[in-house]
Amino acid sequence: MSRIPVKICGLKDEAMIDAALEAGAEMIGLVFFAKSPRSVSLVEAARLADHMRGKTQIVALCVDMPLADMEQMVAQVQPDILQLHGTESTETCAQVRERFSRPVMKALGVSCAADIEAAFAYGDVIDRFLFDAKPPKNSDIPGGNGIRFDWTLLRDTKLPKPYMLSGGLDASNVAEALRVSGAPAVDVSSGVESSRGVKDPAKISAFLRAVRGAHMQD
């Protein structure tokens, strides 16, 4: 059995990237969304991407980013994967995938079974799903809110593409989340932070250990 891939999202400095690399994260996410406390500029992102290139997969998280802006970002940062975390349509996902010749991961908010069913429409135009909890009604940030959804909604679901589980995960509950959902991969952001937008190397390490420990028990 291959080990469960882990994505650490919203890193903003080399020290935290080094902590994630040392812990063994298969993916590291850079956030390009100004309203997020985890957002980085193109200049910062390019420097951070160069620091980790070849050591992990670089994921660029975009929220309804115009294609012209995405083209500039891709040219400067050269990410491995494009994560679309807004209200992007199937047509937009297909266009991004074709235009930039990179895998597309589409994030979808979940609060009920119908949200999982809605994901099937994206099956032909993306490479991976990311299921996150829907944000609170008063939030203008689509992810990284530390909210979980009912993991049993994913149990035994036969999706057309692989997926990552996100939303409210941390070292204390990720093993349960994997067991209940059967998720093949996980994503974490707020669950490895000491304060909003500030990553904690000890929490990153603990999260990866918890995932690896859960995998060994399977």
Specify the 3-state DSSP secondary structure of 94. Answer: helix
Give the percent of the chain with pLDDT over 90.
Answer: 85
Q: Confirm if 96 and 126 have CB atoms less than 8 A apart.
A: no
Signed CA dihedral, 161, 177, 133, 201: sign only: negative
182 falls within a domain: yes
CA 124 to chain centre: 20
Identify whether 1 is part of a domain: no
Whether residue 164 is predicted with pLDDT greater than 80 in this model: the reply is yes
Is-contact 133 110, C-beta < 8 A?
A: yes
- How many domains is the chain built from? 1
What is the rounded distance in angstroms from the CA atom of residue 190 to the CA atom of residue 173?
Answer: 13
Domain limits for position 177: 6-217
Residue matched to tokens 């937008």: 197
Average of pLDDT values for 108-113?
92
193-195 and 57-62 as β-strands: parallel, antiparallel, unpaired? unpaired
Query: In the predicted model, what is the mean pLDDT of the chain?
Result: 92
Residues labelled catalytic: 9, 132
Residue ranges of alpha helices (H) inside 3-105 are 14-23, 42-52, 67-77, 90-100
Residue at 31 is within a domain: yes
| Mean per-residue pLDDT, 24-39 | 95
* Domain-embedded: residue 37: yes
33, 63 Cβ separation under 8 angstroms: yes
Query: Over the Cα atoms of the chain, what is R_g?
Result: 16
Beta-bridge partner residues of 31: 39, 61
Residue 133 maps to a domain: yes
CATH code at 212?
3.20.20.70
The label of the residue with tokens 């996980």 reads: 186
> What does the pLDDT read at residue 3?
86
pLDDT digits (tens, 9 = 90+) for 119-132: 999 999 999 999 99
In the prediction, which pLDDT does 138 show? Answer: 60
* pLDDT, tens digit, 9 for 90 and up, residues 39-61: 999 999 999 999 999 999 999 99
pTM of the model: 0.92
In a domain, 176, yes or no: yes
